[in-house]
Amino acid sequence: MIFFRAYNGAMKIITARPIDTDSFAPYGQLLDVPPKPGRYDFQAELFNGRSDAKPNLLLARANGISLPLDMKVMERHPHSSQAFFPLDAERYIVMVCPGAADGSPDMARLDALLIPGNLGINYNPGTWHHPMTALDSPANFAALVWEDGSEADTEWYTLKPEQQVRIEE
């Protein structure tokens, strides 16, 4: 369920809401970063759909922004899950939606979820999402995705003017 939707001229406005397990379940899993020392195994549904793709453990650095944010692009990884663990984020936001019948992002079902810096996420394969977005200050994330170096690793979609959305807090 989307928290709030309004229209400002031609641009849709969505108010971001705090993330919870149920709101993120259609798109992936939450990865709770426990406060106590020790080893923690996560029940994330890590997935690699191509035998020639290799795991890519990477560092993603996101500049901190303040909302509102006018969305212009979406991306997805059709053959791989993608996990993010915040290393030093205060908080961040994900904008996610399922695919439409034609394979493009279903922007009518877009959700914007605020995430505290002690919580990681794992996107299911094929989940449309906005690129990683830290709020308020720059942040680093450890990420895991399977890639083979081809264009099939990541699909990008530039939103048409009528699909663009403003995210507010």
Indicate the pLDDT class of residue 71, thresholds 50, 70 and 90: very high
Q: Mean pLDDT across the stretch 81-104?
A: 96
Residue found under tokens 């191509």: 50
Q: Mean pLDDT across the stretch 118-144?
A: 96
* pLDDT value, residue 7: 46
Which of 44-53, 80-89, 90-99 is predicted with the least confidence, judged by mean pLDDT?
Answer: 44-53
* pLDDT value, residue 90: 95
* pLDDT value, residue 28: 96
* DSSP per position, 113-137: EEEETTEEEEEPTT-EEPPPEEESS
Q: CATH number for the 5-34+43-168 domain, one of 1.10.3720.10, 3.40.366.10, 1.10.579.10, 2.60.120.480?
A: 2.60.120.480
* pLDDT value, residue 33: 73
Q: Mean pLDDT across the stretch 54-70?
A: 95
Domain limits, the chain: 5-34+43-168
Give the 3-state secondary structure of residue 56.
Answer: strand
Q: Rounded to an integer, what is the distance from CA 42 to the centroid of its chain?
A: 18
